[in-house]
Structure 1
Amino acid sequence: MSNTVQTHKSAVAKKAKLKKAVDLKTQSGGTSSWTKILNNLQELGKALQFPIAVLPFAALLNRFGALGITYTTTADGAIINEAGYWISFIIQKPGAVVFDNLALLFAIGVAFGLAKDHRGEVALVGAIFFFTITALTSVAGSLPDMIYGKVLTFTDEQGKVYSSLIYVKNFADDGTTIKGASYVLSIGVLGGIVAGCFSAYLYNKYKEIKLPTALSFFGGRRFVPMIALVVAIPTAFAFAIIWPWIQYALMAFGTSVADPENPAVAIPGTSIYAVLNRLLLPFGLHQILNTFFWFQLPINGSIVDPITGTVNAGTQWVNGDINAFAKGIQGSGLFQGGFFPIMMGGVPAIAIAMIFAAKPENRREVSGFLGGVALVSLISGITEPIEFSFAFISPVLLIVHAVLSGIFMAISTAMQIQIGFGFSAGLIDYLASFAQSWGFANEGGAMTVSANPLWTLLLTAGAGGVWFASFYFLIKWQDIQTPGRENILVNDERTTLKASKGATKVAQGDKYQIMAENIIQAIGEDNIISIDNCATRLRLILKDNKSINEAEIKSSGAFGLKRLGTEALQIIIGSDVEHVANVMKRLTNK
């Protein structure tokens, strides 16, 4: 009886504390600008997962199909194996269509992801918004031509004038005569993201708008496409005015960085990117950085055939390192290749180091979990379960991890290893990309020995040794409380320990149901505003992210948590996070 009364008093006190915190926030003028920014960035990072999720399988289809087409056709395109060609064609085209329409997928996916009720209408609005701004900016004779047609000009052999901001020169066979120009201005994936953000904002704001009776048919959600078309026009003007200058600079940067023979730019450029990529990971903001380099950065070159390395005549601009590698563009893959040693060797070695550094009585328990996620990292390139097991415990380990990532990215770039992925730098993508990478190394029929993708396997082994030694030494020296070194046991023993204290239900039945209930209890149902998830973590918006039981969340099986501002909370669950999120939504009606 006394325990029941005490529990009731504790719950009442917790609610009073939460109410006081909310009241104080209201009195001080509401949520701070910084918190709003962090919340919005978290939402954007989550929304970007929608279009990115279609890439892995599409990349596999595209790669294997393209390889089949290469072996069933001659250099001039003649089919030499009818059955093999058409099978390869059927495999390749569904994958290629995803990459060919990636910007549109981002417009649709971001709009849907940011809409509060995730209804299909907003996806339609996102597509309409994107089509409008691209029609006004991304074709010859559109707004940029009107504004910049006589800026930074060059003239072709016919005397026609073009702007270098929006066109590139087409040379005759002599390499000097300008026989024309190609319009290259493209808002690309950035345009898709902007279209999706604006569409979601307009949808959330006007989906319940009420108009006069005579116009009531056009009220509510029917009003959103109309206002979106209106807003798309000034948005297109903004792109037409600002984006040509940005793309002009990006094309110069992309040309320099994507040239493996220009180490003064390529090596530090890719290395700094790798460091920032790992440092931003705990905040969930690395996807925003990845989106630029993987899908927006302009890369120019000829198409290089897989295996043979034959270079096709002519060049083309492609936005994004992933897209360029998928098409076989010279100089692509540098922003991806260096991640393979990290994710196939370095990160699995971190897990092994933590196993060896664990207390003897806990080593068997952590070996099951850490060994499993190490294998996942090796095969698929999904590294977050391992990285989150130390990122929030020790900033030192995170910094070391980021610096080592930058070093191995620099080594890979210096060796001119070009290899890409569709999802992440795991063994599956390595095998799928090997033929194209071999073609780059064999470009023009002359193998560049250091660029041979087989070196990636040696770098992977080297990365494993360096990461293992670094992490094992630091964990032991600094007595860092990585999994297995803390006093609280893990997995089933954690659940048993909690149950013995009466803190939760007996761990029988649906583990996702149990985890969801424990997390809700630790946070407080009344504290939850919204529930969402990305690939590996819950993304929550709370009334107050300080009024939670952090120990109980971690003991539920979560790998860690991260607060962003005063409202956003990320809880790292793993690749099965969606099941936990679905149960939480059902239990809370959020």
Structure 2
Amino acid sequence: MFNFLQRIGKSLMFPIATLPAAALLLRFGQDDLLGIPFLSAAGAGIIDNLAIIFAIGIAFGLAHDSNGGAALAGAIAYLVLTAAIATINESINMGVFAGILSGIVGGLLYNKFYNVKFPAWLAFFGGRRFVPIITAATMTVLAGLLGYAWPPIQQGIDAAGDWILNAGMFGVGAYGFLNRLLLPTGLHHVINTIVWFDFGTFTDAGGEVVRGEINRFLKGDPTAGPFLSGFFPIMMFGLPAACLAMYMAAKKERKAAVGGMLVSIAFTSFLTGITEPIEFSFMFLSPVLYVVHALLTGVAMMVAFAFDIRHGFGFSAGAIDYVLNFGLAENPLMLLVMGLFTGAIYFAIFYLLIVKLDLKTPGREDEDEDMVEGDSTEHGTSGTDETDARAYQTIAALGGTDNIVAVDYCTTRLRLRVKDADRVDEKALKRSGARGLMKINKTNVQVVIGTAVEFLADAMKNRIASGNPPLDQNIDFNSNATAPKEELPMKKEILPEDFVMPVDGKIIPLSEVPDEVFAQGMMGPGFAIVPSGNTIHSPVDGKIVSIFPTKHAIGLVTDTGVEVLIHFGLDTVNLKGQGFDLLVEDGQLVERGDALLKVDMDFVGANAPSTVTPIVFTNLTDQKLDVLKTGNQRQGTTSIIKVQ
């Protein structure tokens, strides 16, 4: 659930990224600036259609391959939902929740059905073309259910929103504190979306009802802004002052090394309101400072509320939004006064705590930690090669290509799935220019890069696809081809610790399987299991490369190129999928122990000749397979086989 919510939070950044353009157009077109109505109308075209933009952006972000077909599914899901639900109850307006729900359904259905196959006479409607069809059908059913279920749900949401909006200083303070506290996990995007785009309603001059703190502020609601105002003193003054405190507290010999970094991220925070590079620079080195920062954010929100300051932003609380929306604000000059006091408080508290508690902020680390700014020219690269060099260094610091399962990113950080987080070298990451590292769990890490994260992520994906060759090799990433100095074939092997028992049961030789095709090794060497458990788990880290339409057999490939076929039971193809509950999808990356298939053992045992399950290695030619254990074994047991 945590990983799923993180994926939702990351996907929300696609539609949120449109807000700066909308805010600029909307403001410049208003009478107090340029007074050009069609500019305001252009901006309103985005603001008024955020729900469908959310549907498209979330579906696209959830798609395993970021394909445009998922985005189309999200749009269709939204259009079907909103049109159908209105026939049941005209008063229902799900707002941004309709977009979020549609995006989730569209993205998940795309991942499940993008490669579905039909008989020849229906083949045209197979694959990605089937996704909009199943999406429309699914959303029609959901619309029928929500037509009756949504009104009480919306009443509950509105009641919660009204309580928070009317909770005064406590409400805005709690929101500010939680907003910063959840930032390390990325889940702050989720609560931001609810507050910014759903809480509160306002009817504009044209009679249109708009929802959400940002939308209401930009459309002129005189009550909107309290949940936005208090961020300006923090982002424009407080965190830059924290950077100054960290610089002043740095060791004398380290000030030159960290000064440039601190100046650049402080200016970014002041100008744009993007604060993550600053926050991640001390978040894990000195967690006590981060808790203080979260508390100070809550206090700033409460003080702004107490002084009746009402200001807002289209993207974030930086100087750009402060100036742009100055004409819509109430008491905006008080934010500058607040900012000066906030900056002084941040500097004093941060400097005092850093020095007195000897906190390891940038420039105060122990010498052996050697945190320096990455030098992208150390490998003889410069200019356009800097990103490629940094990608090479980052991949190496993450444990190499064999440790990286998936690369993703949000506004300022890489979001990575790895095989073993312990193999990630934090010092090497910081030497390559990373601001910080967060290990979510054993297989999920986040690396704070800054606003250039998208370019680094793309460069890393290209390098990973090519095996991360040395920097002095001539590589054409656009053609997905490499020109290495020496071609080395992939070494097909599976170490004993890299293969686990996929299900509780008894290991028997493949020769004892009552099926000549398997018993004689026609499909390849392997072994078999007489299962006592009902769930098949992945025995290896790898990728799902084939799933039989009848669900009884799954093919995987390891990162070393070994193909593994798990065939549950004998003649189970005749069951036509009955008795099998598939838990993965074709193309999915899996780790050892991930559940692949759940089996109704009573049904399959009664309707198939045997439940004996062959595990076959289908592409071993020169390699030797050794079965290291026999007899009854528990799922997850290691050292079952060895391939060399």
TM-score normalised according to structure 2 size: 0.68
SS in 2 for 1:67: coil
Structure showing greater Rg: 2
Match of 2:88 in 1: 143
Listed as ranges, the gaps of 5+ residues in structure 1 are 1-36, 72-83, 146-182, 304-311, 442-451, 500-504
TM-fit CA distance, 1:50: 0.8
* Deviation of the 1:520 alpha carbon: 1.0
Which of these residues, 17, 22, 25, is aligned with residue 58 of structure 1? 22
Render the CA deviation track for 1:493-530: whole Å, top value 9, x for unaligned: x549x96xxxxx45656222222111211222012221
Residues in 1 aligned to 2:371 and 2:386: alpha-carbon distance in whole angstroms: 14
Distance 1:136 1:271 in 2: 40
How far apart, CA to CA, are the structure 1 residues paired with 2:305 and 2:156? 22
Q: Which amino acid in 2 is paired with 1:431?
A: V
2:9 equivalent to 1:45: yes
Q: How many angstroms apart in 2 are the aligned matches of 1:325 and 1:120? A: 32
What is the one-letter code of the residue matched to 2:5?
Answer: L
Counterpart in the other structure of 1:27: none
What are the equivalent positions in structure 2 for 1:210-359 lying under 5 Å apart?
210-255=117-162, 257-258=164-165, 265-300=167-202, 303=204, 317-359=209-251
2:37 maps to which of 89, 108, 112: 89
Of Structure 1 and Structure 2, the greater helix share is in 1
Q: Which runs of 4+ in 1 moved over 6 A?
A: none
Report the more deviating stretch, 41-50 or 569-578: 41-50
Q: Which residues of 2 match residues 154-169 of structure 1 at below 5 A? A: none
- Greater displacement, 550-559 / 417-426: 550-559
In structure 2, how many angstroms separate the alpha carbons of the residues matched to 1:460 and 1:104?
37
Asked whether the 8 Å contact 1:282–1:392 carries over to 2, the reply is no
* Equivalent position amino acid for 1:143 in 2: I
- Are 1:577 and 2:440 an aligned pair? no
Letter in 2 for 1:91: L
SS at match of 1:540: strand
**SS at structure 2 position matched to 1:562:** strand
Offset at residue 365 of structure 1 (A): 2.6
What is the deviation of 1:256?
5.2
2:53 aligned to which of 96, 105, 112:
105
SS in 2 for 1:118: coil
Q: Report the CA distance shift for 1:462/1:67 in structure 2 as closer, same or farther (over 3 A).
A: farther
Report the counterpart of residue 62 of structure 2 in structure 1: 114
What is the aligned partner in structure 2 of residue 428 from structure 1? 320
CA apart distance, 1:236: 2.0
Does the aligned pair in 2 maintain the 1:343–1:377 contact within 8 Å? yes
Partner of 1:530: 406
Give me the whole-angstrom Cα distance separating, in 2, the residues matched to 1:122 and 1:544.
Answer: 30
Partner of residue 543, structure 2: none
Q: Report the residue type matching 1:475 in the other structure.
A: I
* Residues 277 and 123 of structure 1: CA distance in aligned 2, closer, same or farther (over 3 Å): same
| CA distance 1:270–1:294, shift in 2 (3 Å) | same
Q: Deviation per CA, 1:447-487, whole angstroms, max 9, x where unpaired?
A: xxxxx121111111111011111111111111111111122
Give the one of 263, 271, 276 matched to 1:379.
271
Cα shift at 1:396:
0.8
Alignment-derived partner of residue 517 in structure 2:
none
RMSD across aligned positions (CA): 2.2
Rounded Cα–Cα distance in structure 2 between residues aligned with 1:556 and 1:381: 25
- Structure 1 residue 364: Cα displacement: 2.4
Matches within 5 A, 1:394-433: 394-433=286-325
Count of residues in Structure 1 that have an aligned counterpart in Structure 2: 462
Q: Which residue of 2 aligns with 1:568?
A: 444
Tell me, yes or no, if the aligned pair for 1:495 and 1:507 is still in contact at 8 Å: no
Q: Which amino acid aligns with 1:103?
A: A
Question: Partners of 1:117 and 1:379 in 2: how far apart?
Answer: 34
Q: Given residue 391 of structure 2, which amino acid in structure 1 is its aligned partner?
A: A
Task: State the alpha-carbon separation in 2 of the partners of residues 398 and 410 from structure 1.
Answer: 19
User: In structure 1, what is the equivalent of residue 391 of structure 2?
Assistant: 516
Is the CA contact (8 Å cut-off) linking 1:251 and 1:299 kept in structure 2? no
SS in 1 for 2:313: coil
Answer yes or no: is 1:129 the counterpart of 2:77: yes
SS at match of 1:349: helix
Q: Does 1:366 align with 2:258?
A: yes
Does the CA-based 8 Å contact 2:371-2:430 persist in structure 1?
Answer: no
Within-5 A mapping of 1:482-561: 482-486=361-365, 487=367, 488-491=369-372, 495=375, 505=379, 508=382, 510-523=385-398, 524-561=400-437
Query: What SS class does the counterpart of residue 529 from structure 1 fall into?
Result: strand
Give the aligned residue type for 1:271: G
Distance 1:40 1:287 in 2: 13
Q: Which residue of the partner structure matches residue 358 of structure 2?
A: 479
